Structure 1
């Protein structure tokens, strides 16, 4: 990890990404920083390159959904890139926040933060992002969001030794010290949990949970049904999931509403790894009121890829996935609408998903980024055998 330990004796220069060469450096820097980190699993380059495409990716929607500027830090002595950051204004996030609170301060985000272990470089990157956001009338900066909560969100501050699961961010341990040294402070923490379903200390409480929720299902049978998605109607089913997701997360800290086009891009890209037994829709009298989305941890395969470029990378992934039996399933999101909250839909979803996991010989289960104060979701999973093993922090700074 020579680059991570590199000394920036003569300072650094930070400039806005403008040329193709700059953008290439911006995309490639994480590969240099993480090259020898045994815990990091870098995302597929095709996915990462597209989410940085401000002209075509639906998150930005041609500037109507969001705008962003990218910055690179270069070592003044060698000219090598030593850090990167993005400054992002998510219009949909601010519009939703202002609907809830007319006095909401316009906030922006920093994201795609990567840096050598240098307080000087980190400070200049944060200053560049803050200055650009301030020039756009932004009053508060949050992050990291790369580029929003629907993608890589928060900074890993505890649990670096744990497996790097699919759709979760990973960062070197020194990043927290760099950001806090720049004056950023905690806004909110998110927790990830895991369980070994072959360990009786985890399996037995979960089996009891399925029995209790099965009894609840019997009482509510006339009103609530929980079913797997129909892969023959994948686009229609995922459209339903998107609508429920936006409603379920409407009051969730940091949520940015996902447009139909953006959601279809995400769900279409995930279709090859979707197992319908782990993607559930809850309905009350035929109307959707809840969802659960769990996916096989394809980082088990991505971490083994050797040809990390272009379509060759995707081709190698497809070859490796043949006859692959995932060890871990990751629960990406679970929740219910306001109507669903009145009928204990979330506990029913937890119970049914747990039953499906146990019945299909999954070894490990991973629950993604639950807000530390979301007792309604944390309490049942902690009570039934899962343990918190990673913590992610969203930082803030007044501008």
Structure 2
């Protein structure tokens, strides 16, 4: 076997290899959905428009055997000063690798060394590049179709990461419900929600088409406030919020972004998106020159939806707003001909949300895992015949 080496993805050629490698790894898997290439390049800083602040750098590497790339990884320093538990944590993400344990181990070590050089004690991931984007490794649910923005990978990835010295620190779940069960459960969800929210004169409304961008930024603001105590929380910068609002404006269906207001104040929001996974596979993750139009054209014909978030401000979490919002989203999706709703993801450490969705008739369909280890511990693993440039 050829000797193994790591190279930073800093030239045009290595960055191109970094972006193209997943297609080679998943070449025989017809289920696989590529990332949107322009978005991945932007998050990695390969092209202008990087949404992360300068104090949150991202560095990418490739593993080679001879001239052939066999794996890739990136590391980032997304500090969260508001949450002391995250102060010493750096992240790895964009992980892809052939079934080559030595290459995976060296990639993880390289990320750990870089994170340690930035004064951080632990390496956590995959988070590409933080918890606000693509998170986790799929470990269960390989028989299910991949979903929009939910990781999908070969079933050996878990073994590669454990072999590299990482340990699971959090499980993330996807739950799904099909049309027949939705029809039977939506009335009950709305009835439970309205029983509580009706006492407080709660008003529901959808995204305002005329104020689309301000409503999307409001949704992101509610999400940030509601998640501050959530495991792994990393705040979005103002620049990230603006970038996400722009990106979401093309994808969102106004009726499927629902707000709950109390005395004119928005206190909760829920968002479902059409599952664009099949469309992204058809355009091979390329928005240009025609992919963008093919992705969005006739999106009303998409019959599977992903419920991305149900966020409630802390003082209103006991008001029954979650079942009320989920019931409204479900009813609207049914009116659009929905065949399936997927709720993803819900953290293992959030049993209240998991229970609400499960009580609404959804069943667990996928499990993803996030891994972590001390950088010093990871670097104690040694490899032979390697060169780190």
1:329 equivalent in structure 2: 305
In the aligned structure 2, how far is the partner of 1:331 from the partner of 1:218? 24
**Normalising by structure 2, what TM-score?**
0.91
2:369 equivalent in structure 1: 393
In the aligned structure 2, how far is the partner of 1:302 from the partner of 1:113? 20
Where structure 2 has 5 or more consecutive residues not aligned to the other structure, the ranges are 376-389
**Distance of aligned partners of 1:193 and 1:210 in 2 relative to their CA distance in 1, 3 Å threshold:** same
2:379 equivalent in structure 1: none
**Normalising by structure 1, what TM-score?**
0.89
2:73 equivalent in structure 1: 85
Question: Given the alignment of the two structures, is residue 172 of structure 1 paired with residue 135 of structure 2, yes or no?
Answer: no
In the aligned structure 2, how far is the partner of 1:356 from the partner of 1:306? 30
2:91 equivalent in structure 1: 109
For residues 42-85 of structure 1, the C-alpha deviation after alignment (integer angstroms, 9 at most, x for no partner) is: 12222222222267445422x22x11211111113xx1111111
The 5 Å alignment of 1:155-194 reads 155-194=137-176
Picking from 197, 209, 226, the partner of 2:204 is: 226
The 5 Å alignment of 1:132-147 reads 132-147=114-129
In the aligned structure 1, how far is the partner of 2:50 from the partner of 2:224? 16
| Secondary structure at the counterpart of residue 83 of structure 2 | helix
In the aligned structure 1, how far is the partner of 2:328 from the partner of 2:150? 24
Q: CA deviation at 1:254?
A: 1.6
How many residue pairs get aligned? The number is 375
In the aligned structure 2, how far is the partner of 1:323 from the partner of 1:169? 22
Question: Given the alignment of the two structures, is residue 43 of structure 1 paired with residue 30 of structure 2, yes or no?
Answer: no
The 5 Å alignment of 1:1-399 reads 9-53=1-45, 56-61=48-53, 63-64=54-55, 66-76=56-66, 79-91=67-79, 93=80, 95-98=81-84, 106-197=88-179, 199-200=180-181, 202-221=182-201, 224-305=202-283, 308=286, 310-318=288-296, 321-322=297-298, 324-399=300-375
2:382 equivalent in structure 1: none
In the aligned structure 2, how far is the partner of 1:308 from the partner of 1:59? 20
Q: CA deviation at 1:317?
A: 2.8
Preserved CA contact (<8 Å) 2:77 2:90: yes
For residues 222-250 of structure 1, the C-alpha deviation after alignment (integer angstroms, 9 at most, x for no partner) is: xx212111011111111211211110111
Q: CA deviation at 1:12?
A: 1.1
Q: CA deviation at 1:380?
A: 1.8
In the aligned structure 2, how far is the partner of 1:316 from the partner of 1:385? 33
| Secondary structure at the counterpart of residue 366 of structure 1 | strand
| Secondary structure at the counterpart of residue 193 of structure 1 | strand
**Distance of aligned partners of 1:289 and 1:367 in 2 relative to their CA distance in 1, 3 Å threshold:** same
In the aligned structure 1, how far is the partner of 2:286 from the partner of 2:311? 35
**Distance of aligned partners of 1:327 and 1:183 in 2 relative to their CA distance in 1, 3 Å threshold:** same
Preserved CA contact (<8 Å) 2:192 2:323: no
In the aligned structure 1, how far is the partner of 2:208 from the partner of 2:300? 22
**Distance of aligned partners of 1:337 and 1:123 in 2 relative to their CA distance in 1, 3 Å threshold:** same
In the aligned structure 1, how far is the partner of 2:285 from the partner of 2:241? 28
In the aligned structure 2, how far is the partner of 1:261 from the partner of 1:105? 21
In the aligned structure 1, how far is the partner of 2:154 from the partner of 2:241? 30
Preserved CA contact (<8 Å) 1:238 1:267: yes
Where structure 1 has 5 or more consecutive residues not aligned to the other structure, the ranges are 1-8
Q: CA deviation at 1:189?
A: 0.4
In the aligned structure 2, how far is the partner of 1:307 from the partner of 1:245? 27
Say what the alpha-carbon RMSD is for the aligned residues.
Answer: 1.9
In the aligned structure 1, how far is the partner of 2:112 from the partner of 2:35? 27
Q: CA deviation at 1:342?
A: 4.5
